Structures are given as structure tokens and as C-alpha cells.
Amino acid sequence: MKIAMHGVSKAFGTQRVLDGVTLECEFDHTLALIGPSGGGKSTLLRLLAGLDVADSGTLFVNGSELPQDEGALRRYRRRAGIVFQAYNLFPHLSALENVLLPLTRVHRLSRSAALDRASAVLRRFQLETHAHKQPALLSGGQRQRVAIARALATEPEFLLFDEPTSALDPEMTAEVLDVIAELRESGTPLILVTHEMGFARRSADLVAFVSNGGIQECAPAAEFFSAPRSEETKRFLEKILKY
């Protein structure tokens, strides 16, 4: 997967969250975005997902510039699978209906074709016995697996994860990271915002450090963790890996 950004900026009111971000990278499996809270990671991910539009600058995904108008952005978003930290499941729908919804409403599959695909992806993640339960009856790990199943059911070109384990306890975190590691081996490229440094070290092709509205450095995972180049990255890793 190829990503290119040139002078990308984004502000919300008077707060400039991204300030002239420039990056060109290519990876086979996983790009991990790490950094301090409020540094711009999630905003950057939302721009790549087509959920927000940059105030200035250009973004390219696999050689195509991200559009600006809403109609073209809707078509672009159909190419991506997005998983949020808070699941974003509809509480009044069952797990199965949550997976079916984008297939029938956005991708316009017939009910029978959508049902076949949704059932298959729920089986893949050992959720078939929970298919008719509403989210409130599922554990946090199960809810996040349903969210991943929903994203994967659309057969996206790539997947984006925004801190998918931040609301989970350690056991459920391991459960969800196992699923993401499995996806990594399936061939679908992943872009992952995470605080799980061990997972980023083991599973990412590239790690980008996002702080103060910019990408301070981007390097292969082994190099990033063993020999960070910038002093800011070194301080961050020393602090977060201390314990």
C-alpha cells in the first residue's frame, strides 16, 4: 500500500491539529501510527479514511488523490473498512444486523447475498452463536470482533483501526490483537492507531511517530524501536516503555 501526503493541515476551530504533514511511504501489511494523546493520530486516520477533509495539502492513497466533494468521498469510503475504539455498533440491532447494514444499504447487496457474506465473516471470528444478540449482551472483546467483522464483510481494499483496544481490559485486548494479527496475514493492508507498543513492534512493517501535529519520523518497526532518530521519539519511547 502506498500513502503520500504533502503539506496536509487540519484545524478544528482555533486548534490546529495537523500542521503541514508530509510523508511518503509504502508497506505490504501494516502501518502503525503511535504518539502522545492529542498529537494528531486519530485526525490523520480520519483523513485517510475520508471521514474528514484536510484544510490544505494533498493526500494520495495507492496513487489516487483523495477527493474533496462528499459524493466522491462516499465512493472512496466504500473502499475502506473502518474500526473505531468505541465499536460504533447500533445498540438496537443484533450482531448479524450490524454486519448486514452496510452490505445492504451502502454496497447494495441483495438480502440473501449479504446474509451469506455476513454469516461467513461471523463464523470466521467465532461469533456465529452470538449473531442474534444485541451489543449490550456481548463482552467488549466480542463487540470489537463484531465491528471488525462488519468492516471486513465489505471486502475493503484496506482496513483502518483507531485505537481498537483502548476500551478493553488486558484479556480482551489480547483477544482483539490476535484477530488483527490474523488479518495482517490475510493480505489486506492495515493502518492502525495504537498505544500497544509490543504489538506495533512485532506486527507493523512501518511505525510513524505522530506528535505536535506532524510526523516526526517513520521507519521500519525494528529500526524505529531500536534506534529512534529524533530526540522527541526517544523521550516518548523511554517514557512509555519504562514499565
Does residue 152 sit in the same domain as residue 166? no
pLDDT at 201: 93
- Strand positions, DSSP E, the chain: 2-12, 15-26, 30-34, 56-61, 64-65, 80-83, 158-162, 190-193, 206-211, 214-220
CB atoms within 10 A of CB 169: 12
Confidence of residue 113 (pLDDT cuts 50, 70, 90): very high
Amino acid in the structure at residue 39 = G
| Domain final residue, candidates 130, 156, 182 | 156
pLDDT at 183: 87
Q: Is the pLDDT of residue 242 over 80?
A: no
pLDDT at 168: 86
Q: Is the pLDDT of residue 181 over 90?
A: no
Does residue 130 sit in the same domain as residue 219? no
Q: To the nearest whole number, what is the mean pLDDT of the chain? A: 93
Does residue 5 sit in the same domain as residue 118? no
pTM recorded for the entire structure: 0.93
How far apart (Å, rounded) are the C-alpha atoms in residues 155 and 158?
A: 9
| Domain final residue, candidates 140, 156, 172 | 156
Range of the domain at 65: 1-79+160-243
Does residue 1 sit in the same domain as residue 64? yes
Does residue 109 sit in the same domain as residue 149? yes
226 to each of 194, 204, 219, 221, how far by Cα in Å? 18, 14, 11, 8
To 5 degrees, how large is the angle CA 41–CA 46–CA 52?
Answer: 130
pLDDT at 171: 87
How far apart (Å, rounded) are the C-alpha atoms in residues 116 and 23?
A: 40
